[in-house]
Amino acid sequence: MVCATTLQRKMLLLPVWASMLLGLLMGFVPVVGMEPTEGAKSDFDHAPNTEPLPSSSGTNCSQLTLKLEFSSKVVEHEYIIAFTGYFSAKARSLYISSALRNSGDRTLEWHIVPRQNPASDFPSDFELVHIRQASPSSLLTLEDHPYIKRVTPQRKVFRMLKYIPSPETAAPCNATRQSWQSSRPFRRTSLSLGSGFWHATGRHSSRRLLRAIPRHVAQILQADVLWQMGHTGSGVKVAVFDTGLSEKHPHFKNVKERTNWTNEKTLDDGLGHGTFVAGVIASMRECQGFAPDSELHIFRVFTNNQVSYTSWFLDAFNYAILKKIDVLNLSIGGPDFMDHPFVDKVWELTANRVIMVSAIGNDGPLYGTLNNPADQMDVIGVGGIDFEDNIARFSSRGMTTWELPGGYGRVKPDIVTYGSGVRGSGLKEGCRSLSGTSVASPVVAGAVTLLVSTVLNRELVNPASMKQALIASARRLPGVNMFEQGHGKLDLIRAYQILNSYKPQASLSPSYIDLTECPYMWPYCSQPIYYGGMPTIVNVTILNGMGVTGRIVDKPIWQPYLPQNGDHIDVAVSYSPVLWPWAGYLAVSISVAKKAASWEGVAQGHVMVTVVSPAENDSEAGGELTSTVKLPIKVKIVPTPPRSKRVLWDQYHNLRYPPGYFPRDNLRMKNDPLDWNGDHIHTNFRDMYQHLRSMGYFVEVLGAPITCFDASQYGTLLMVDSEEEYFPEEITKLRRDIDNGLSLIIFSDWYNTSVMRKVKFYDENTRQWWMPDTGGANVPALNDLISVWGMAFSDGLYEGDFTLADHDMYYASGCSIARFPEDGIVIAKNLKDQGLEVLKQETAVVEGVPILGLYQTPSDGGGRIALYGDSNCIDDSHRQKDCFWMLDALLQYTSYSMTPPSLSHSHSRVAPPTGTERPLPQRLEGNHLYRYSKVLEPHLGDPKPRPLPACPHLSWAKPQPLNETAPSPFRSRQSSFFLRFLVRIFECLYVVLGLTMAALSANFPDVSGRLAQFVEQAHIYRGLFLDAACPGFEVDFRTDRPVAGSCKFQLVSSQIFGLNWALNSRRERTATPGVISS
């Protein structure tokens, strides 16, 4: 009877299916209740459960939060000597002996430190040497040897993990969740141990309650689609650089090799993080990984005490190259992109076709916090999102800061994926949940490993082609800018489609420049361009999938579209002379032509770039592969704003770590001692920039000396937290500019030589105690700049809360005003003497500390000057209470000569200080600022200014105008009838087979399971033919749906993804822990 009833129900469905099939073929009838759009999944499919999956064992039950403390130091007397090539141990020893003999120091004691690891039997490009009491001259003699490239100190890294009771509501037993808190280390550290804080919006929470079994991240990203097609990572070598892995862990079936690079005599994981990362990539049961059949190569590079050395990583990297590793997941990161041995070795790895995936960092939501090596062009940098597709709060943001101050940062991360509450393998068995960008990193590494296994011709897979596939297929997240999400969220299936039809080519990241597209193109879209403004610089990355090396042929060509006013803009392009490894840069400078000084509108054009690479497998000698790419440009132009509305930000005189020791502006931040965020309006001064734009100001960036801008165009020059010295010519020009109407606002910071000596640390390059080369700001240099007006800052160091003009304020490690003109306005407050606290651990309150000064210069038509002793209130890094209201008031004063009554009539106004109470601060004796300065150079032990450099000169490209309309980004009605017909066929197959499978799943699970494979393959082929029928991107990235009227919009007659909830529900009902079968 039951069978008869079931059969009757199925018979009743046949007319429905038949009518639906006819409607689909004719293109008329959409599925009822579904929008006719592609790519928007049902809420059932799009709202994964974030609760942990119960462990199969009761031994993995804990409710703990893991807190990280980090420190770093050098190993005394040990040096890493890098060679120009790979040499045997005997040859390396001979070269070192020869170099040290030439030093003339006969008392020098040295020996080569033995390295007992799997790489010791092979030639190497470095040696670890113990040199007792090495003098600078002996180190220089080493570097003079023709086969020695560089000498750097050996580094020792500590990661201290402390388990503390979790303050959150306890999760069910056997459902361990841990969060990792970042301390923003100033050296390379594990990003697996980053912040676990993320904010859920609560969307779809009621629907998540319907899930009986939570899905794993591999299934959420539809890895099971590729598993059912027979792809499980087989034949792909993936390396995990972490804390090791137990030999007999039940989750892994293909651990090819475990190697130990530490000084501990074990291969096992004593902490669990390496096991977790390996599980996300290749676990075969319970918390399933992406590529269970891949070859796992475990590199144990951290001890159970969380200690590692640079030499361990260099040896392990060399061994990875020797073993021909395909994919490498790296769970460390730090701000030092000038750590040459490490960075050079990463380049060498990728040049040897190793696809490196690395976490972008856990220092969000602050901008300018990208970690190395994820910020390198040849590495896939991964950011984190939660399961509701929100950017994780902890995920670091761009831009890169390598290029500052003269240029502009690149777009990073490359992509984002799930990094909050992700499940992976427990230490011995079972599963656990962790959060952090290094949780997102193995998600991408596992997906990359799986994708490599789907490609028949492995020669096509390289670091560039894989990154091209990932970023071209990524799903754009709405409402999120490119410095947060990169190219978007990882889409495994789309990446598979692109990779399996891939042909070697060059591509660009970003692939277009649209200064009108907000918020994705922030900050470019936040301010239109105009005649007379500083050129807008967009730093584009060139990815070269044709070969590890390449070059740009001739010069890029600028082609403006005349119907779209392209002749209203000028374009200059600079680029990498050589693309290596796999990538290079294309810096595009955009400016407005003089004829558009009073014009408003949109201008468009494109830049054409041709890249060539040697053909690796070409039978003919000298064969080359060629690829031409087009970079569309679209800008919004407005008439030149009035001078009073234009603010110029001085970037040229801001210095940051690396390379030098530039301390934080707030001395309370002991766990974040270095100033490494770039001090740019689009990094740690982002909120200030956004505020100024909302107030109607136009903010531009000066990346050259003060002598290189036309002061008559600007109302105010804004100097914040300046660490650089000034050329004498700059001081002279600024005085002349202010006499002619330019105004100046300076936000200073602390400078005290006694405190600077107190915050010293052991120098890793000179092997000496290293004092900061400046304080929070270079106050002596600022005093030189403003002395002509009788102004100066002091070396006092103050801190405290106060109220100014009914606003709560906090002074964080600021200085005071030591001298000011008698007819100026000075505001003073009672503050704590922080210098006394730092030096003597004593507390004292100082009354009447001058902190703010306003002055109108006496010359006819002269500008105005405003000084404030602390920048932390406008700096996002450690700001506690903002003072944007005060910046508004100061700009009203400098731009419009409107003295704020709240300041001029303040009860805190005092008589200007005369500077006679104490001497002005002097430069720290013996400082090494000249090593990193663009202004100073060494001169007989007494640094002096360099010759003033020439102002940057842009060579504007000669336009080759096109008298044609700019092509639409959406190509419509250009696909063949045959391809459209195939799309319809596979769409119908997907719908019909999917409904049949759902109807049979309850009573005929075996038949339903076999149908599932055909359903998924129909889905894949339908997508492939759809992309072939409608080439190019035809999706509105704001909604992730086909654009109305586009080719894909016409073809997508049903929202077939709406069936995914049924397919996924069937998988969850039938899923059982066990080995994944292909």
773 is catalytic: no
Looking up tokens 């940051």 gives 656
Q: Going by DSSP bridges, is the β-strand pair 936-937/569-575 parallel, antiparallel, or unpaired?
A: unpaired
Q: Which of 46, 145, 249, 273 is catalytic?
A: 273
Nearest to 702 by CA among 674, 673, 733: 733
| H-assigned helices in 661-750 | 686-694, 728-739
Q: Which of 45, 224, 242, 386 is catalytic?
A: 242
The dihedral region occupied by 59, where left means phi > 0, alpha psi between -120 and 50, and beta the remainder, is: alpha
Per-position DSSP letters for 73-141, written without gaps between them: EEEEEEEEEEEEEEE-HHHHHHHHHHHHHTT--TT-EEEEPP--STTTTS-EEEEEEEEET--HHHHHH
Task: Please report, as a single letter, which amino acid is at residue 166.
Answer: S
Asked if residue 1075 lies in contact with residue 285, where contact means CB atoms within 8 angstroms, the answer is: yes
Three-state DSSP class for residue 450: helix
Among positive and negative, which fits the CA dihedral 439, 445, 450, 454? positive
273 is catalytic: yes
Asked if residue 636 lies in contact with residue 616, where contact means CB atoms within 8 angstroms, the answer is: no
Asked if residue 571 lies in contact with residue 590, where contact means CB atoms within 8 angstroms, the answer is: yes
d(CA 115, CA 122): 12
d(CA 510, CA 411): 7
Per-position DSSP letters for 479-490, written without gaps between them: T--HHHHTT-B-
Asked if residue 444 lies in contact with residue 415, where contact means CB atoms within 8 angstroms, the answer is: yes
DSSP state of 525: G
d(CA 129, CA 127): 6
Compute the CA torsion angle 134, 137, 141, 142 (nearest 10 deg).
30
Residues in the chain: 1078
111 is catalytic: no
Q: Which of 179, 438, 743, 1008 is catalytic?
A: 438
Cis peptide before 900 (omega within 30 of 0): no
Task: Please report, as a single letter, which amino acid is at residue 112.
Answer: I
Asked if residue 409 lies in contact with residue 213, where contact means CB atoms within 8 angstroms, the answer is: no
Compute the CA torsion angle 525, 956, 632, 649 (nearest 10 deg).
-20
Enumerate residues 6+ apart whose C-beta is below 8 A from 412: 360, 370, 374, 375, 381, 398, 399, 400, 483, 486
Nearest-5° angle of CA 497, CA 500, CA 503?
Answer: 115
d(CA 921, CA 783): 9
Three-state DSSP class for residue 226: helix
d(CA 193, CA 61): 20
Which contacts (CB < 8 Å, 24+ apart) does range 458-462 have? 459/616, 459/617, 460/502, 460/504, 461/326, 461/355, 461/499, 462/353, 462/355, 462/545, 462/548, 462/582
Q: Which residues pair with 552 in a beta bridge?
A: 611
Burial 951-985 (b: 16+ CB within 10 A, else e): eeeeeebebeebeeebeebbbbeebeeebbebbbb
Looking up tokens 């291969």 gives 267
Three-state DSSP class for residue 466: helix
Structure-block tokens of residue 475: 């799903």
**CA end-to-end span of the chain:** 37
DSSP state of 663: B
Looking up tokens 């002793």 gives 869
d(CA 176, CA 197): 16
Catalytic residue positions? Answer: 242, 273, 438
